[in-house]
């Protein structure tokens, strides 16, 4: 409907204006005479998994790509040999004499002739994840395992431009011995250059000899200076959303394509050099540097609660284990995992967490059994779910368990909710803007006697790599529906969260936050979500809309040929919540059309409405407009003061806009 050509848009405008003139403006009554149901404080959270280079080349701070030389069995991918004309050297992958079981491969460099004078030395350079971001006056911390044939010379580590002509920082290390040694170093850049991602990391070998390198790592300063931590700019974008929880670690990522590629949490904890890493279902390797403890620390840093999805015996190639003794080791693994998260230091896995550096247990209330098990056509989920549910509840009766089937989403509908044991169901929705808007009222009619709903994945899929403003409108309309029903929808999280926007970085079109090596940005949908999550009260305000203008479905040629009749749905979407502590109402209004809309608002059941309030408006000239790495803040909310509020007031909502109005109120209650 909204990708209209100009004449069509003008005609639509006149028809629409006629509609408004004939019927008068839209009206909305806010019912504060009723206490309203409680808003779920956990309504807005985050969903995460290794997809679109979310951690590797994304949130996880590691700058070296293929640090453990496992990305390709044949060549040292993302590494290159740098040798001047007078030097002779070669490099290859080597499985002889590895560092340990998790690092079975190393990079062997044979320097036959180190060269003379100016071009002396041989280097191995890593190109990073589509470049390495280098900033002035910054200290980078690195490490690698190294050994040599014994007679080798000193090493030099440097951050330099891709052509090698500019050295941003360098450091020296003594000649390596014949045994593996972990060498640590730091590189501090000079002042006076522009931040750039056109850089590489080089280890230069200054004398002839054979050298072996393994797990080469380099980190920039991280968020809250965590060791093995996260990229600060992306963490800040997330912090600004004030998310309540983090659904981890997937998604498909928890399942893997095969049993051996599942997210095997025990292999993701402890020293990083002891983590073997694995192939993610999104077809690239994860080092598992972002392991269970790092997920939990990510939660801690952003004051989020972890929502833990446990592997439940089903993998993406449709292999599964039926309930019974063969499934039990996986149930035990889940129990151990919960103990790692929550156990005190006297428990086996709590002690292990303490040894890993975090003696304090983490809070945990929700466990999800698997992911999207509606795909398991064998029908084994009910049995698997019950085996996990009973074991978890027996040991941790306080935990709430989430089923991945039994919801009203297409996958959830394939199987009924496991009988007698379903507290919460996870529903997933990936839709067009039209579908989101057409279904924005779906929860208004849900049965309140059934399980609570966790909308564990949802997104309007328009625009890529990050979505456009039309998607933000669809998302915002959908969020009004979740908010109006946040007694039932206890949690929700958009997916996928991240995408590396470089060519080859995206496996899933339509993502919330984009980045390259140097910078990051939020899509319009990110800002819509931030507006919604940071303006949320504690009580739902019932609304009665009247005279709401409509929009007509735009049919494709295929739809028309199939005789589909265009539907009409509302063009304005609303939700309101009251913050009883602050004494304000957060009224959200979404105008999906290209014409401004008058709205007469009546606040019923209050003693007083303050005359002045605040407004945050996110809007675009065209629905296809978007943010990008080159225009990261083209569409951002504009904050303004609002005057003329009262028990009844009129406000004009701009074309294609998402608005939050903060209205001060005094109620008798
Ligand atoms: O969000 C992308 C994928 O969509 C998730 O991994 C999976 O759960 C869903 O099918």
Task: State the CATH number of the domain containing residue 5.
Answer: 2.60.40.1180
Mean pLDDT of 595-624: 97
Examine the fold and report which residue of 219, 254, 283 is the final residue of a domain before the chain moves on.
219
Residues 558, 622, single domain; the answer is yes
- 524 CB near ligand 1 (under 6 Å): no
CATH at residue 209: 2.60.120.260
Ligand 1 center to residue 193 CA distance, Å? 41
Task: Give the end of a domain, one of 449, 476, 510.
Answer: 510
Identify the CA nearest to 310 among candidates 327, 324, 286.
Answer: 327
* Residue range 119-176, pLDDT digits in tens: 667 999 999 999 999 999 999 999 999 999 877 788 999 999 999 999 999 999 999 9
Average pLDDT over residues 279-295: 97
Dist. CA 659–CA 612, nearest whole Å: 16
Inter-helix orientation angle 232-241/292-301, to 10°: 60
283 belongs to a structural domain: yes
Closest C-alpha to 231, from 298, 168, 293: 298
Categorize the per-residue pLDDT at 242 as very low, low, confident or very high, splitting at 50, 70 and 90.
very high
68 occurs within a structural domain: no
Both tokens of 210, joined, read 């054979």
Closest ligand 1 atom number to CA of residue 252: 6
Centre of ligand 1 to C-alpha 57, Å, is: 19
- The two beta strands, 613-619 and 550-552, are unpaired
- Smallest CA separation from ligand 1 atom 9, residue: 251
**Cα–ligand 1 centroid distance for 459 (angstroms):** 11
pLDDT band at 297 (very low <50, low <70, confident <90, very high): very high
Within-domain flag for 623: yes
Residue 116 confidence (pLDDT): 67
The residues near 288 (Cβ < 8 Å, ≥ 6 apart) are 267, 268, 272, 275, 276, 277, 278
**Claim to verify: residue 452 and residue 335 sit in the same structural domain:** yes
- Give me the pLDDT at residue 464, please: 97
Instruction: Give me the number of domains the chain comprises.
Output: 3
Question: Between residues 14 and 177, which one has the greater pLDDT?
Answer: 177
Q: How far apart are CA 188 and CA 207, in angstroms?
A: 25
Backbone angles phi, psi at 180, to 5 degrees: -60, 135
d(CA 195, CA 186): 18
Place of tokens 């006297």: 346
495 lines ligand 1 (CB under 6 A): yes
Q: What is the CATH number of the domain that holds 314?
A: 3.20.20.80
- 356: which 2 tokens? 């890993």
Select from 507, 502, 78 the least CA-distant residue to 287. 78
**Residue 252 beta carbon below 6 angstroms from any ligand 1 atom:** yes
Average pLDDT estimate for 35-42: 97
**Helices 328-342 & 348-355 angle (0-180, nearest 10):** 50
pTM of the full predicted structure?
0.95
In whole angstroms, give the CA distance from residue 185 to residue 218: 9
Q: Which of 48, 52, 247, 252 maximizes ligand 1 atoms within 8 Å of its Cβ, making it the mutation to test the pocket? A: 252
Whether residue 147 sits in one domain with residue 39: no
Tell whether 502 and 651 lie within a shared domain.
no
Alpha carbon of 251 to ligand 1 centroid (Å): 5
Q: What's the gap in Å between 417 CA and the centre of ligand 1?
A: 20
How is the beta sheet containing 106-113 ordered, strand by strand? 88-94, 106-113, 209-219, 139-148, 181-188
Q: Is the pLDDT of residue 8 over 50?
A: no
C-alpha angle with apex 293: 286 to 232, nearest 5 degrees? Answer: 75
- Here the tokens at position 548 are 């709401």
Residue 411 pLDDT: 94
Domain membership flag for residue 226? no
For 453, the domain range is 243-457+487-510
- 115 in a structural domain: yes
Distance CA 23, CA 392 (A): 57
Between CA 609 and CA 179 the distance in angstroms is 76
Average pLDDT along the chain: 94
Q: What is the pLDDT of residues 193-236, one digit of tens each?
A: 999 999 999 999 989 999 999 999 999 999 999 999 999 999 99
* Minimal-distance CA residue to ligand 1 atom 3: 251
Question: Has residue 1 got a pLDDT over 70?
Answer: no
499 and 359: one domain? yes
Mutating to test ligand 1, I would choose from 47, 49, 368 the residue with most ligand atoms within 8 A of its C-beta, which is 49
pLDDT for res 84? 83
In 148-263, which ranges are continuous DSSP H helix?
232-241, 252-255
Alpha carbon of 321 to ligand 1 centroid (Å): 21
pLDDT above 50 for 565: yes
- Tell me whether strands 452-460 and 424-431 are parallel, antiparallel or unpaired: parallel
Q: β-strands 657-666, 584-591: how paired?
A: antiparallel
User: What pLDDT does residue 12 have?
Assistant: 41
CA distance 240 to 46: 12
Helices and strands (H, E) in the chain, number of each type: 11, 36
CA distances from 364 to 250, 398, 557 (A): 17, 10, 50
pLDDT of 10 higher than 90? no
pLDDT tens digits, 452-489: 999 999 999 999 999 999 999 999 999 999 999 999 99
H-assigned helices in 396-490:
433-438, 469-484
For the segment 486-508, the average pLDDT, to the nearest whole number, is: 98
How many angstroms separate the Cα of 9 from the Cα of each of 5, 427, 559? 6, 35, 21
Same domain, 307 and 436: yes
Q: How far, in Å, is the centroid of ligand 1 from the Cα of 368?
A: 14
Query: Quick check: CB of 457 below 6 Å from ligand 1?
Result: yes
Residues 317 and 286 both lie in one domain? yes
State residue 26's pLDDT score. Answer: 97
C-alpha distance from residue 144 to each of 169, 181, 415 (Å): 17, 8, 50
**Is 637 among the domain residues?**
yes
pLDDT reported for residue 21? 43
pLDDT at residue 4 in the model:
38
Mutate which of 318, 412, 508 to test ligand 1's pocket (most atoms within 8 Å of Cβ)?
Answer: 508
Q: Are residues 115 and 212 in the same domain?
A: yes
> Encoding tokens for residue 54?
């979310």
Distance from residue 492's CA to the centre of ligand 1 (Å): 14
Most distant CA pair in the chain, distance: 92
Closest CA to 528 of 489, 480, 569: 480
Residue 252 alpha carbon to ligand 1 centre in Å: 6
- Closest alpha carbon to 209 in 153, 154, 157, 146: 153
Q: Looking at the structure, tell me whether residues 207 and 110 fall in a common domain.
A: yes
Where does a domain end: 187, 219, 251?
219
Residue nearest to atom 7 of ligand 1 (CA): 251
Confirm whether 204 is domain-assigned: yes
Question: Does ligand 1 lie within 6 Å of residue 251's CB atom?
Answer: yes
Say how many Å lie between the CA of residue 334 and the centre of ligand 1: 21
DSSP, residue by residue, 325-382: TTTHHHHHHHHHHHHHHH--TTSHHHHHHHHTT--SPPP--EEEESS-GGG-TT--HH
CA dist 364 and 362 (Å) reads: 6
Distances (CA, A) of 186 to 64, 74, 136, 140, 157: 14, 31, 14, 6, 9
- For residues 236, 262, 251, 51, the Cα torsion angle rounded to the nearest 10 degrees is 50
Tell me the mean pLDDT in the region 354-383: 98
107-116, 485-494, 577-586: the lowest-pLDDT one: 107-116
> Does residue 205 share a domain with residue 127?
yes
DSSP label at residue 634: S
Cβ atoms of 633 and 581 closer than 8 Å: no
Q: Does the CB atom of residue 249 touch ligand 1 within 6 A?
A: no
User: What percent of the chain is modeled with pLDDT above 90?
Assistant: 91
Task: Tell me what the mean pLDDT of segment 594-620 comes to.
Answer: 97
Check whether residue 595 and residue 467 sit in a common domain: yes
- Is 653 inside a domain boundary? yes
Same domain for 303 and 443, yes or no, is yes
Structure tokens that stand for 220 in this block: 């920039």
pLDDT, mean of residues 585-613: 97
Give residue-wise pLDDT tens across range 45-99.
999 999 999 999 999 999 999 999 999 999 999 999 999 888 899 999 999 999 9
Instruction: Assess contact for 80 and 163: CB atoms under 8 A.
Output: no
Q: What angle do CA 309, 490, 367 make, to 5 degrees?
A: 20
């Amino acid at each position: 409907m909204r990708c209209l050509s100009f004449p069509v848009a003008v005609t639509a405008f006149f028809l629409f204006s006629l509609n408004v003139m004939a019927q008068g403006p839209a009206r909305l009554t806010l019912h504060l005479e009723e206490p309203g149901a409680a808003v779920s404080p956990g309504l807005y959270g985050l969903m995460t998994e290794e997809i679109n280079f979310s951690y590797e080349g994304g949130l996880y701070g590691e700058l070296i790509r293929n640090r453990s030389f496992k990305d390709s069995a044949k060549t040292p991918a993302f590494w290159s040999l740098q040798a001047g004309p007078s030097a002779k050297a070669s490099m290859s992958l080597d499985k002889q004499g590895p560092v340990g079981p998790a690092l079975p491969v190393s990079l062997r460099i044979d320097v036959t002739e180190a060269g003379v004078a100016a071009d002396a030395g041989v280097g191995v350079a890593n190109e990073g994840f589509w470049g390495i971001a280098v900033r002035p006056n910054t200290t980078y911390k690195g490490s690698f395992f190294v050994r040599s044939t014994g007679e080798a010379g000193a090493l030099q580590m440097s951050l330099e431009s891709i052509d090698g002509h500019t050295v941003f920082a360098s450091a020296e290390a003594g000649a390596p011995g014949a045994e593996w040694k972990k060498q640590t170093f730091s590189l501090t850049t000079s002042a006076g250059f522009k931040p750039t991602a056109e850089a590489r990391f080089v280890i230069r070998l200054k004398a002839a000899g054979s050298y072996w390198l393994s797990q080469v790592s380099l980190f920039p300063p991280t968020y809250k200076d965590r060791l093995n931590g996260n990229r600060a700019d992306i963490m800040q974008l997330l912090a600004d959303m004030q998310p309540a929880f983090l659904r981890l670690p997937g998604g498909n990522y928890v399942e893997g394509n095969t049993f051996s590629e599942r997210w095997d949490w025990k292999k993701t904890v402890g020293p990083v050099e002891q983590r073997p890493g694995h192939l993610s279902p999104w077809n690239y390797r994860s080092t598992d540097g972002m392991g269970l403890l790092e997920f939990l620390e990510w939660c801690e840093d952003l004051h989020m609660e972890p929502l833990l999805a446990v592997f439940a015996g089903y993998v993406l190639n449709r292999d599964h284990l039926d309930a019974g003794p063969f499934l039990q080791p996986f149930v035990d693994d889940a129990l151990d995992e919960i103990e790692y998260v929550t156990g005190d230091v006297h428990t086996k896995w709590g002690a292990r967490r303490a040894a890993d550096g975090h003696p304090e247990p983490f809070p945990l209330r929700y466990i999800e059994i698997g992911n999207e098990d509606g795909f398991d056509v064998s029908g084994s989920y009910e049995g698997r779910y019950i085996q996990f549910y009973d074991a978890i509840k027996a040991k941790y009766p306080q935990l709430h368990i989430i089923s991945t089937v039994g919801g009203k989403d297409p996958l959830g509908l394939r199987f009924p909710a496991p009988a007698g044991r379903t507290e919460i169901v996870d529903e997933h929705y990936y839709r067009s803007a039209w579908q989101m808007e057409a279904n924005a009222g779906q929860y208004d009619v849900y049965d309140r006697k059934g399980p609570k709903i966790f909308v564990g994945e949802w997104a309007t899929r328009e625009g890529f790599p990050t979505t456009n403003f039309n998607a933000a409108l669809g998302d915002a309309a959908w969020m009004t529906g979740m908010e109006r029903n946040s007694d039932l929808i206890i949690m929700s999280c958009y997916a996928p969260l991240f995408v590396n926007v470089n060519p080859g970085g995206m496996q899933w079109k339509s993502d919330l936050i984009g980045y390259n090596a140097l910078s990051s940005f939020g899509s319009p949908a990110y800002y819509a979500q931030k507006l919604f999550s940071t303006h949320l009260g504690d009580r739902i305000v019932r609304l009665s809309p009247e005279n709401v203008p409509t929009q007509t479905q735009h049919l494709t040629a295929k739809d028309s040929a199939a005789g589909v009749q265009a539907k009409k749905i509302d063009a304005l979407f609303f939700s309101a919540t009251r913050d009883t502590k602050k004494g304000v109402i957060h009224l959200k209004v979404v105008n999906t059309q290209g014409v401004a809309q008058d709205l007469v608002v009546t606040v019923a059941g209050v003693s007083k409405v303050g005359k002045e309030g605040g407004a945050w408006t996110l809007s675009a000239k065209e629905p296809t407009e978007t943010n990008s790495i080159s225009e990261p803040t083209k569409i951002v909310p504009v904050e303004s003061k609002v005057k003329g509020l009262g028990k009844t007031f009129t406000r004009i909502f701009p074309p294609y806009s998402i608005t939050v109005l903060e209205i001060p109120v005094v109620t008798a209650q």
